[in-house]
Amino acid sequence: MDTKREALKLQRDLLPKIIEFGTDLDEFYRRFRELRVITNDLSFQGALINVEHAFFMVVQSLNILREQLRLLEVATKKKEIE
């Protein structure tokens, strides 16, 4: 099995899915944010802020994953992966 080619194939298959998921995630984030803005209940606003923060953390994780996938591609092209 050619692990370099397999890794690149997986990377190429995964990147579009990450982008698609990120787009869907952004829509859900926007909807929760709208709810926070229109609610008058301060304790509920706090709960919604926590949800927004969790969305931020997921997005950060997706960004890290995308960066690592790009580094994998670079390493493969530089023949650093055996």
The answer to whether the beta carbons of residues 52 and 36 sit under 8 Å apart is yes
Q: pTM, whole model, 2 decimals?
A: 0.80
Report the distance separating Cα 62 and Cα 65, nearest Å. 5
Residue 62 carries which side chain, given as an amino acid letter? Answer: L
Is residue 72 within 8 Å of residue 11, measured between CB atoms?
yes
pLDDT in tens, 3-60: 888 999 999 999 999 999 999 999 999 999 999 999 999 999 999 999 999 999 999 9
Please enumerate in sequence order all residues whose Cβ is within 8 A of that of 76, keeping only pairs 6 or more positions apart, or say none: 4, 7, 8
